[in-house]
Amino acid sequence: MPWQAEEAPDPRLLAFNEPLAAELGLDAAALRTPEGLRLLVGTAVPDGARPVAQAYSGHQFGGYSPRLGDGRALLLGELVDDAGTVRDLHLKGSGRTPFARGGDGLAAVGPMLREYVVSEAMHALGIPTTRALAVVATGRAVRRETVLPGAVLARVASSHLRVGSFQYARATDDVDLLRRLADVAIARHHPAAADAANPYLALFEAVLAVQASLVARWMLVGFVHGVMNTDNMTISGETIDYGPCAFMEAYDPDTSFSSIDEGGRYRYGYQPLAAEWNLARLAEALLPLIDEDPDRAVALAVESLKTFRPRYDAALADGMRAKLGLPAGADDAVVADLVTDLLALLQAGHVDWTSFFRRLADAARGDAEPVRLLVLDLAGLDGWLERWRALSPDGAAMDRVNPVYIPRNHLVEEALDAATGGDLALLDELLDVLGSPFEERPDHERYAEPAPRDFGAAFRTFCGT
Ligand code: AMP
Ligand code: MG
């Protein structure tokens, strides 16, 4: 639905992504001017652009909402980047839209900077994601539990098509509309599907494949999305919606941070199951396109859905093999046993996921002391190390896939608190460190360390604030 942003009384640039602006062919200097900031908060619209608020449906924590919004977001338009790819430029926190329901349509500085930091960290880790172009403080107060400074995030995505977009189209009962949506998704994200015998089944399988790979990537870095509702799952395979997400420190499949995820539906270890569940909802939405005969459509979709788990398992196993620095020739079953035993060791010892793999590379190079400092069960670890070393792990290869720096919760909170109070120095430093996560820097030890004990256990994230 065509829509416009609300006025921002006093726009101030808090974070700006110069490299991304360049990729998009945007003039960074011009965007920093007062007129440029008006564009970044949506109050000045370029000639010919027609911003829209996009409706979608979705299952939130398993319950279906026929119309969710975008309640506080505007699609400004599409840009062609320097690689020739069409990208959406989108604003979050730009005011109420017709889909806002009871919400105020606004966003606070802290959560928008949080999305900026974490999504850019994910990008630097090599994980498909929406990107952050800018966060602009609006100068308007936002009422939450307290009164907070408001902000707009300018976000870039290869599109904002979600599983929920298909659920919305399906719910109209207009099969032609659903087909047009599917054709757009195929052309934009999965063009090979157009040549398949059954293009819409091929579209489903392509989304399934990119999601299996994506969720495996999350698991490998310890990312907990926190709100894997069907409206927060993209058709492109990019991570979207950085509300309550956070990174796991001590390895535990039950890790969950979100204050509203009381049942732990979206806990770390359940993410592949949540993804599979969401894909079943996508398949349901696509059924009328998959086959005219409903029974046959279901049978085909079910067969395809069964390929999710093996695809995910293979992606995860490949990733774990790489994290352990093991050559392609190492026996699959031997590596699988090593991984199982390692996970048990890490969980029992509450070992920090990120530090462990990074320090393990030193053990591959002959110095096991750094990793031994992380583990209490030294007999167990030493036995495991001996089996692992017998497979000739490559320490240099490990350093290329195991990050030193992830957006640790205490560091993110510290930087956001300072930025909300007007001091951007810590935020800039954090962004800088997270921009090269595999490169160890002198004098930045604190960025590599887990949260102090009194912080970690109680840490909770909040959604949609
Ligand atoms: P999420 O759970 O963050 O994916 O949000 C689900 C829906 O709620 C989206 O359509 C959002 O645009 C909408 N929403 C979240 N916060 C607000 C708000 N403050 N005002 C209006 N809509 C909101
Ligand atoms: Mg969302």
Name the least confident of 18-27, 45-54, 147-156, 334-343: 45-54
Last residue of a domain, one of 131, 157, 183: 157
pLDDT of res. 409? 96
Whether 70 lines ligand 1, by a CB cut-off of 6 Å, is yes
**Per-residue pLDDT, 456:** 65
Indicate the pLDDT class of residue 438, thresholds 50, 70 and 90. very high
What's the mean pLDDT in 53-69? 94
Under 8 Å CB-to-CB from 124, ≥6 apart: which residues?
434, 435, 436, 437
CA pair distance 312, 64, nearest whole angstrom: 26
Contact 142, 106 (CB under 8 A): yes
Residue 233 covered by a domain: no
Quick: pLDDT tens for 352-374: 999 999 999 999 999 999 999 99
| pLDDT at residue 195, rounded to an integer | 98
Ligand 1 atom closest to residue 70's alpha carbon, by position in its atom list: 10
| SS3 at position 60 | strand
The mean pLDDT value of the chain amounts to 96
As a whole number, mean pLDDT of residues 269-293 equals: 98
Given this model, what pLDDT does residue 160 score?
97
pLDDT given at position 389: 98
pLDDT at position 455 = 85
Residue 105 CA, closest ligand 1 atom number: 20
User: 173 in a domain, yes or no?
Assistant: no
Question: What pTM was computed for the model?
Answer: 0.97
**What per-residue confidence (pLDDT) applies to 464?**
54
How much is the average pLDDT of 285-293?
98
Residue 463, in any domain of the structure: no
Choose one of 393, 414, 448: the last residue of a domain. Answer: 393
Question: What local confidence, expressed as pLDDT, does residue 457 receive?
Answer: 66
Q: Where among 371, 393, 415 does a domain terminate?
A: 393
The 10s digit of each residue's pLDDT in 399-427 is 999 999 999 999 999 999 999 999 999 99
Cα–ligand 2 centroid distance for 60 (angstroms): 10
**Number of domains composing the chain:** 2
Instruction: Find residue 65's DSSP bridge partners.
Output: 58
Site to probe by mutation for ligand 1, drawn from 3, 6, 65, 72 as the one with most ligand atoms within 8 Å of Cβ, is 72
SS (H, E, C) 3-22: CCCCCCCCCEEEEECHHHHH
Ligand whose nearest atom lies closest to the CA of 69: 1
The pLDDT of residue 463: 67
Q: Is 241 a catalytic residue?
A: no
Confidence band for 459, pLDDT divided at 50, 70 and 90: confident
Q: What is the CA radius of gyration of the chain?
A: 23
Range of the domain at 132: 12-157
